[in-house]
Amino acid sequence: MFKDKDSVEIPYTCKLCLQEVKFTVSKEEYKATIKFPIKKEITHGDPKHVLTAYLNQYLEVETFEIKELEQKKEVSFSKDLTRQVLSELDLSDDEIELYFRTTGREAVSIGEMAILINKSKEQCETIAKKFIQKGLFKEIVGAKPHYAALPPYAALVAQLKKFHQYISDIKKSIPIQLDQSFKKLETTTEKVEKAPDSNEMMKELKSNMLNQIKSQKKEFDETMAVMDQIRGITNEISSLEGISDG
């Protein structure tokens, strides 16, 4: 194993940043080890994180742990609104629950997902692929695939488009409704005593329009609030994209 060397280097790919690191074990350290595994730590990456590896008697990595050193920004937003947003992506209750359970965690494996929602690995693998397609997961490629949850941008953008379309429809419908109202007034001019007051009709029309717009604006404001709250983790998402492309 050591041959004529005083130490050996064990290369290993970090599952968080995909950077290859090397753990060094000296011949003296190996001989002095009574009970395995040998614990080795190395700090690396940007942002900095600690990779802890446990080496067996053959100097193979049996298990590992990853701990980030920089404190992440806390991002909180309405769970009810997020659930509504996720439902726009045609997710089942179990899938939505998995998304919530993986949000804020480090990269998770298929096995960990299976434990989180009590489903088979095959089912979780299918869900993970669906999440990637929907833009909810980022796959961290390695010897054993891991996944990191991303904010539901796709559904949020869809809601913004929906609101934009609603405003466009309102702009088109207002002239039509006004025209219909004026025609109604014209057809009843011969019966002045029975004709509705034009000012009252305009007030009623205006009130109905404002109520509709306020209702849509409330949903829009909630969506924008979420966008503002998750904007602070854009760098984190970009970092994950860099990991995948690297």
Total-model pTM: 0.38
Q: What is the pLDDT of residue 38?
A: 94
Asked whether the CA dihedral 153, 159, 165, 167 is positive or negative, the reply is negative
Question: Which residue ranges make up each domain of the chain?
Answer: 7-68, 90-151, 154-235
Q: What is the pLDDT of residue 192?
A: 46
pLDDT digits (tens, 9 = 90+) for 141-163: 777 889 988 877 655 665 566 66
Instruction: Enumerate residue ranges in the chain where pLDDT < 50.
Output: 72-76, 192-195, 233-235, 237-238, 240-241, 243-244, 246
What are the φ/ψ torsions at residue 243 (nearest 5 degrees)? -65, -45
Distance separating alpha carbons of residues 176 and 183, to the nearest angstrom: 11
- Nearest residue to 209 (alpha-carbon basis) of 164, 178, 170: 170
Q: What is the pLDDT of residue 152?
A: 74
CATH architecture of 90-151: Orthogonal Bundle (1.10)
Q: In percent, how much of the chain has pLDDT > 90?
A: 27
Strand partners, 23: 10
Q: What is the pLDDT of residue 121?
A: 92
Q: What is the pLDDT of residue 83?
A: 80
pLDDT digits (tens, 9 = 90+) for 101-118: 888 787 899 999 999 999
Q: What is the pLDDT of residue 25?
A: 94
Q: What is the pLDDT of residue 42?
A: 94
Q: What is the pLDDT of residue 86?
A: 81
Please name the amino acid found at residue 125.
E
What distance, in Å, lies between the first and last C-alpha atoms of the chain?
32
DSSP E strands: which ranges in 108-237? 137-140, 146-149
